[in-house]
Amino acid sequence: MQNVFPGEVFANTADFDNGIRQVLPRYDEMLEVIARCLPSTSQRILELGCGTGELSLKILNRCPDAQVIALDYSPRMVQFAQDKITASGYQQRWTGIEADFGTWANNPEKFDIVNGFDACVSSLAIHHLEDEMKLKLFERIAASLTQYGCFWNADPTLPESPALAEVYKAAREEWLVQQGINLTEISAKRGNSTTQGYSSQDQLACLDAHLQMLSKAGFKTVAVPWKYYGLAVFGGWL
């Protein structure tokens, strides 16, 4: 099995867009919620862990004046996203940077990234950080935003109890059955996730812990605009 960075999931990047939609319930709906939570007048947006560029595309479609600066530590993901953004005609409004956002959180001075973002977004990436680093990242995000700026993140969360863990697992399995997914087929396309920089295998935190971290990081209003069992979109405003 080919080694991949945490978050890359599949050995072949071209398998990601279809594969993630098969194994993750309501993937597009989840990303759409993030795009909707951004003011349509947003001009500078920072994306952490851009993956194949799906969230970037939704944001660029929704915010006509937005410039997106996207960080991802995977060179193949950055290239794949760049090609997709270019094919959609948005290349003038999108900049991909090959970088670990954990390093950005710890050593922002090493990056040529000017603060003053109207918004920051992330999807399916931050859950690979330890909780101490999650908090540090949230603090760095808060410091990078303009006054009244916002941050929205989509991630799996830790079930609050063993009973809920069973509920979430059953819902996920039911989704797979409804979609007619062949798990063996999907599993054969997956890579072997190895630690990269500050990220490793899933290091989930419960939703309440995330909200407390956001408040501690300086977000005055925290919210959960979308939740589907163990998946959530959460964030807030300064």
pLDDT one-digit tens code per residue, 147-177: 999 999 999 999 999 999 999 999 988 988 8
Neighbouring CB atoms inside 10 A of 5's CB total 22
Asked: is 3-237 a CATH 3.40.50.150 domain? The reply is yes
pLDDT digits (tens, 9 = 90+) for 75-116: 999 999 999 999 999 999 999 999 999 999 999 998 888 899
Q: pLDDT confidence of 1, banded at 50, 70, 90?
A: low
Least confident of 80-84, 132-136, 172-176, 221-225: 172-176
Q: What b/e sequence results for 45-63 when a residue is b if at least 16 CB atoms lie within 10 Å of its CB, and e otherwise?
A: bbbbbbbbbbbbbbbbebb
Residue the block writes with tokens 């920051």:
120
Q: Are residues 31 and 55 in contact, defined by beta-carbon separation less than 8 angstroms? A: yes
Contacts 24+ apart (CB under 8 A), 101-107: 101/48, 101/49, 101/71, 101/73, 101/125, 101/137, 102/129, 102/133, 102/137, 102/197, 102/198, 102/199, 103/197, 103/198, 104/71, 104/140, 105/133, 105/136, 105/137, 105/139, 105/140, 105/198, 106/136, 106/198
Interior CA angle at 53 toward 52 and 57, to 5°? 150
pLDDT of 8 > 90? The answer is no
Work out whether the CA dihedral 48, 61, 58, 89 comes out positive or negative.
negative
Rounded percentage of the chain residues whose pLDDT exceeds 90? 73
pLDDT digits (tens, 9 = 90+) for 22-51: 888 999 999 999 999 999 999 999 999 999
Span between the terminal Cα atoms of the chain, in Å: 43
Residue 60: HSE in the Cβ half-sphere, 13 Å Cα cutoff? 22
Least confident of 10-14, 33-37, 59-63: 10-14
The average confidence (pLDDT) of the chain is: 91
One-letter identity of residue 148: Y
Q: What is the pLDDT of residue 182?
A: 73
Which among 7-11, 19-23, 118-122 has the top mean pLDDT? Answer: 118-122
Q: pLDDT confidence of 213, banded at 50, 70, 90?
A: very high
Q: Are residues 116 and 93 in contact, defined by beta-carbon separation less than 8 angstroms? A: no
Q: Are residues 203 and 137 in contact, defined by beta-carbon separation less than 8 angstroms? A: no
pLDDT of 195 > 80? The answer is no
